[in-house]
Amino acid sequence: MRIVYHLGAHCTDDERLVRCLLKNRAVLADEGIVVPSPTRYRKLLRDTAVQLKGATANIETQALVLEEIMDEDVAERLILSWDSFLSFPQWVLRGTMYAFAGERIRAFTQIFPQIEAEFHLAIRNPATFLPALYDKQKGKSHDEFLENTDPMTLRWSDVITQIVTQNPGVPLVIWADEDTPLIWPEVLQAVSGHADGTRLEDTDELLAGIMSPDGLVRMRNYLATHPPQSILQRRRIVSAFLDKFALPDRVEMEFEMPGWTPDMVAAMSEAYREDIERIKAIEGISFISA
């Protein structure tokens, strides 16, 4: 068995992935893919990791935790999804971004030290990530939120490097949240590991949120009558329909942070694009590109 950890990050997925996989739980189960309800494992894993304090769990503890998470006796893949695997939202910024992500994830994997692990993570442009994350804070001022963190210095490659360093040999799949509308089927398959011919239901939730209802119906009809012959062709079709039917207020993000200027946002966005290329070069990383 392999345990697949969908790590988030915050403000990227909004539980969309796990909702879709849960809706397709039966068809995935036929392939040995188990998708338990998050209520069965999030608090349990957090409490167990705290009790272990970084130590590896013994066989008895592993068996008890697995029994709480899944009803099946055997599985090929066990899918666990939680955007707070990396950190709780209020502790994302501590001079840097997800300062203890690698250590924290290792603590979770030590609950099942004999079981192969696999990580999946969506990243997001800090220029939009930070305002979205700030909106999740309650009662914090802008200065309290940043905690002396310089937004211009934040790099996802730093987060990913520490994850890889603390968890050597564990496969890590990355994608950019901005690309998700175009690569969603590939993301779902990468996480679940389902066979190429498996068809999942209700996979249009993301597009339904950013495209007009009429456009979504037209796109579905077009894909049904003109089945794409490749991943690239499907992306081109989806992109064309988004160009014509996207809802401006859903795809054109407006955000404000005190003291931020257009030049600062542009510089952060350029640094993010450069950082993506740096991430792609990290050994052991698989990057799903649009």
CB atoms within 10 A of CB 102: 19
- Measure the CA–CA gap between 255 and 134, rounded to whole angstroms: 11
User: One-letter amino acid identity for 114?
Assistant: Q
- Measure the CA–CA gap between 168 and 182, rounded to whole angstroms: 30
Residues 242-257: tens digit of each pLDDT: 999 988 877 666 677 8
Question: pTM for this one?
Answer: 0.94
- Measure the CA–CA gap between 43 and 214, rounded to whole angstroms: 41
Residues 11-65: tens digit of each pLDDT: 999 999 999 999 999 999 999 999 999 999 999 999 999 999 989 999 999 999 9
Q: In the chain, what are the domains? A: 2-200+268-288 (3.40.50)
Residues 62-99: tens digit of each pLDDT: 999 999 999 998 999 999 999 999 999 999 999 999 99
